[in-house]
Every structure is written in C-alpha cells, then in structure tokens.
Amino acid sequence: MNYIYADNPTWEKIRLACDELGWNQSTIVKQCLHGFFRRDGRFYAEAGQIDAAARGMTEEDYFVCLRDRTEEDLLPYQNGRPAFGAAPIDTIAAIAPDPAFRRTYHTIGLSAYNYVLLKVARIVDGGSMVQVISRMLIKHFRDNWDASYLPQIERDRACRFL
C-alpha cells in the first residue's frame, strides 16, 4: 500500500500518538491494526470459517490460500456468498477518496495470522483494502483514544503521574 485514507480528526490522533507518545509514524498503523484485531479479531476468524465452508474449502486450505496466494485463488461460492452478520467496521463510513485525506504510507507489517484476518475483513467488507484499513484505524481510535491514548497525553502535559 502506498497510502491510507485518514480524515483530519483521525490524522490528528495519529500525529499526536507519534509526537506525544513516541510512536514512530512507520509503525503506528501497524500498532493500530494489531489493537483492532486484539479487540475484534474473533469476528473475522469466525467469518473466515463461514467463508471457507461456503466455498467448500477446509479451514486450513482457505487460510493457506489467503496467507500464501491471493483471493482470486479461493474456490467460488457453492451456493452464494454467506451472511456474515454485522462486522465491527460496518458503523464506520467509508472515507471520501479526497486527495486531502490521502496520506502517504509505506509497508504495514503484520503477523501472518493478522494478515489473513485482514484479507478476510476485505472479503467480508467487499470494499478496497485501503478503505478497510482506513476504517479500522478510525474504529481503533474510537474504541481506545479516551481510555488509552488521551490519558497519557494529558498526564504528560500536566506533569502528573495520575
């Protein structure tokens, strides 16, 4: 990926996490995705099982295909695309593909397991990988900003431990 979409509030949070909390810009998205999957990964693991069954594939073959090959190598659905239920990012609107929100980004390193979950998320969502990742970032910050990031920033600014 050469870029992500981040609206101004999300980009400001990324910038603050880097400037105030010591995150490197090259690793903050990776950290956010790992955090997202720590919280919401079970949904995508179960969706992967559902998708594999709908394609007549074993879980292992499906996993290996997504990890080592491409989505195009998956078997076609036997009886149509399954219903996955409400996905964690369903409540997050797609970010307008406005050049103002297009943020240059380079490699996002993930574990093989999280990489497969990310590919399942793209299948479940049906949108582009850039949009899926961008929406995951928004959800991660929505779920964690007030409890995890902001208290550290406020304590540092106030020169207080608690």
pLDDT in tens, 35-51: 999 999 999 999 999 99
- 47-70 pLDDT, tens digit per residue, is 999 999 999 999 999 999 999 999
7-15: long-range contacts (C-beta < 8 A, 24 or more apart)?
7/95, 7/96, 7/101, 7/138, 8/101, 10/134, 10/137, 10/138, 10/141, 11/101, 11/103, 13/141, 13/145, 13/149, 14/137
Please state, in angstroms and rounded to a whole number, the distance separating the CA atoms of residues 136 and 44: 12
DSSP for 106-147 reads ------HHHHHHHHHHHHHH-S-HHHHHHHHHHHHHHHHIII
Count the residues in the chain.
162
Overall pTM surpassing 0.95 (yes/no): no
Domain ranges for the chain: 2-157
**Residue 124's closest CA among 81, 95, 60?**
81
What share of the chain in percent tops pLDDT 70?
A: 100
Q: Is it the case that residue 106 has pLDDT exceeding 90?
A: no
Mean pLDDT to the nearest integer, 126-140: 96
CB 30 within 8 A of CB 133: no
Chain mean pLDDT for the chain: 95
* Beta-carbon count within 10 A of 2 CB: 9
For residue 69, the tally of other CB atoms under 10 A from its CB is 10
Query: Which pLDDT score is estimated for 157?
Result: 93
Residue 25 pLDDT class (50, 70, 90 cuts)? confident
| Structure tokens, 6 | 């981040």
Percentage of the chain lying above the pLDDT 90 cut: 91
Does the pLDDT value for residue 1 go beyond 80? no
